[in-house]
Structure 1
Amino acid sequence: MSIEGAIEKACSAVGINPPKRRDYGKWLQTDTLSGKNGKGDGRVIINDTHVTAHNWQTGENVTVGIGGDIEKREQKKIAEQVQAAKRKQAADAARATRIATDMMATAKTSCHPYLIIKGFRDEKAMVIGAADVRRIGGDYLVPGDDCQAAVIIPARVGGQVTSAQLIWEDGTKKFLYGGSTAGAMHRVSSGVDTWLCEGYATAITVRTALHGMKVKPTVLCCFSAANVAAIAGRIEGRAFIAAENDKPLVQFGGLGTSEYYARKTSLPYGKPDIGSDFNDLYQKAGIFVVQRALTAIMAGKGAA
């Protein structure tokens, strides 16, 4: 299969547009087929032997092999670009780790407007000012001039900080350029059983609800539905998934992204029947309703 054919096949399989550029060995940004809501949420990487397409919205990842119809001279050129891109990727990842570590060292523990909006007025987290974010990480991480400070959530793989998520006052989320989030998580609390959540607000909602029931769990913020499934395979002991109530997608057989990936695991899971996640349920119906929903998941009755 030609390079163009492999690009078309991989992109079509995950529901994204082929990229306009043809650089090799590095992720190229493109749009999904979901219109303006999917702008910039597609990724494609072209290597000398295969093409991989990724849909950020759904977490789908497809790799298509390239056939032997590439001239040796062209194949050598592509291979050289791929190796250069790999070196840059490693350098970018190391830089993201340094930036995340520096931001964590600079951050102060305090309350934050985002947490208040989410219903946790007294909740404290690592908070870093916009000026420090610009100084340490760059202007691209601050979405607007009116931003004052962000909650910083470190992303760890095997205990090693690989990136960080910044959440600003209005809920805008930013990840560090070049940082790795595949298989990464943030531990919100430690205990006996483990709960896997996608977002930080969901994670602290689950922790608060269970603590109110005198249950002390380990709660992990996994950043995405695909990451929930990846991390689930590494969990030992009893574990549960606090899934989200996503928009049904045709490519997932009418399931939302969160439930699709939850079903890929062998863990009990459930999703709220009000709002898109358990924090929405908490804000609209109260913590006791969340507790009943989580109890149902633990009893194996949470899945719709």
Structure 2
Amino acid sequence: MSDFLQFVQANGIIVPDTFVPGRWIRCKTVSHPRKRNGSIKLADDGLVGWCQDYAVHAEPIMWRSTDAEAMAAPIDRALIARRQAERRAALVEATQGARAYYERCTPLRDSHPYLIEKGLGVAGCVGLRVDHEGALVVPMLYNGKVLSLQRISADGTKKFHFGATTKCAYYAIERPRATLTVLAEGFATGLTVFNAVPNCRVMVAFNAGNLPVVAERMDRFAMGVVCADNDWETAARIGRNPGMDAARAAGGLLGVGVAAPDCKGTDWNDYAMEQMEVAMEGQEFSFSRKKTVLQVQADVFADIKLKVMREARLMRAK
């Protein structure tokens, strides 16, 4: 087991004090030490293990034991089969629970504190709901069916539905007769780009590791672009930029360019909010006619559109 733990640590996962073989365990990561943004799993027989930092890895990374004594030990196949069946049943139960939870929620009306904080309206928020605690509920879909949910509180805290898978899940912000498909990491990023680029539809992948997974399964429309999160602070800390790496991998699968913001934050919503703040402050010292917030926002959105469209390409056929 010590070899497995060394493997996990080498891939940026902070090992928990205790964990049980045979099931996935959520862990903190070096890239996001305040969040349980990674998972590890050691097989029941102790011979194979996996780890995944969702901000870095599109798929779990496999480890295999080289311990000859462990490999020679007898394997209880009946126990392994029973545990696998239990885990499959738990996943089905969690997915059904997510769907039931979503049905109990109230359709989003008017707006939500999270959207207001991000400077966004409800355009494009089809299917969003609000739960009994006031959290915004975003359905995570696959083939049009709910796989899981992302709950976003008023202060921006995000949680996925416990036990339900997020792999392959997406949220589609559709627009009739769209000529450009945008793949984005986060919901606020996707909605910002949707508002800034009038001819686009947006696919939200929810985390960096899911970007290439969603890209591989996307329908191919005429034009496409990946709008990346620029995790420059993480890059300075660990030597790699998870958001950009995942976006480039997704862009390579689709054959399209990657549009990344250059700002103090990480994503295109951060860029929009920063640019609007600078523009509004600049008006205090100007003798020219003052612009309204909507006029300033229109200018910022036009800037985002230009930067995004520069990276748009014809998508590669499957």
TM-score computed with the length of structure 1 as normaliser: 0.78
- Give the deviation of 1:77 after TM superposition: 4.2
| Pairwise CA distance, 1:192 | 2.7
Aligned residue type for 1:263: R
In structure 2, the CA distance between the partners of 1:253 and 1:29, relative to structure 1 (3 Å rule), is closer
- Superposition CA RMSD, Å: 2.9
Q: CA deviation at 1:162?
A: 0.6
Deviation, 1:284, is 2.0
Query: What is the CA distance between 1:109 and its match in structure 2?
Result: 2.9
CA displacement at 1:158 relative to structure 2: 1.6
Distance 1:258 1:250, change over 3 A: closer
Q: Does 1:226 align with 2:209?
A: yes
C-alpha deviation, 1:243, in angstroms? 0.7
Q: Indicate conservation of the 8 Å contact 2:152/2:159, yes or no.
A: yes
After TM superposition, the score normalised by the length of structure 2 is: 0.75
User: Identity percentage over the alignment?
Assistant: 24
Give the equivalent residue in structure 1 for 2:140.
155
| Aligned-partner residue type, residue 69 of structure 1 | M
Whole-Å separation in 1 of the counterparts to 2:203 and 2:124: 17
Relative to structure 1, the CA distance from residue 251 to residue 107 in structure 2 (aligned partners, 3 Å threshold; closer, same or farther) is same
Q: CA deviation at 1:42?
A: 3.0
Mapped pair 1:17 → 2:14? yes
Change over 3 Å in CA distance of 1:79–1:5 after alignment to 2: farther
Residues 166-210 of structure 1, C-alpha deviations (whole Å, 9 max, x = no match): 111111112111122111110112323210011111111111111
SS at match of 1:40: coil
Cα separation, partners in 2 of 1:22 and 1:179, compared to 1, 3 Å:
closer
Asked if 2 retains the 8 angstrom alpha-carbon contact of 1:271 and 1:278, the reply is yes
The unaligned stretches of length 5 or more in structure 2 are: 276-299
1:238-277 map, 5 Å = 238-247=223-232, 254-265=239-250, 266=252, 267-274=256-263, 275-277=265-267
1:217 matched residue in structure 2 = 200
Change in Cα spacing, 1:234 to 1:29, as seen in structure 2 (3 Å) is: closer
- SS of alignment partner, residue 201 of structure 1: helix
1:42-121 correspondence runs (5 A): 42-47=38-43, 48=45, 49-59=47-57, 61-66=60-65, 69=71, 71-72=73-74, 77-103=79-105, 106-121=106-121
CA positional deviation for 1:249:
5.3
Please identify the structure whose Cα radius of gyration is greater: 2
Q: Measure how far apart 1:20 and its partner are.
A: 3.1
2:289 alignment counterpart: none
One of 37, 41, 50 as aligned partner of 1:41: 37
CA distance in 2, matches of 1:23, 1:299: 46
**Change beyond 3 A, Cα 1:251–1:282:** closer
User: Contact (CA 8 Å) 1:38, 1:57: kept in 2 or not?
Assistant: no
User: What SS is found at the alignment partner of 1:284?
Assistant: helix
The CA deviation string for residues 230-288 of structure 1, in whole angstroms up to 9 with x for no partner, is: 11122313221011111265699944211101221322111011231111121222222
Separation of aligned partners in 2, 1:253 and 1:164: 30
After TM superposition, the structure 1 stretch with the greater mean CA deviation from structure 2, 174-183 or 68-77, is 68-77
2:269 matched residue in structure 1? 279
Q: Specify every segment of 5 or more residues in structure 1 that has no aligned partner in the other structure, as ranges.
A: 134-148
Segment of structure 1 superposing worse, 77-86 or 241-250: 77-86
Q: 1:84 to 1:255 in 2, by over 3 A?
A: same
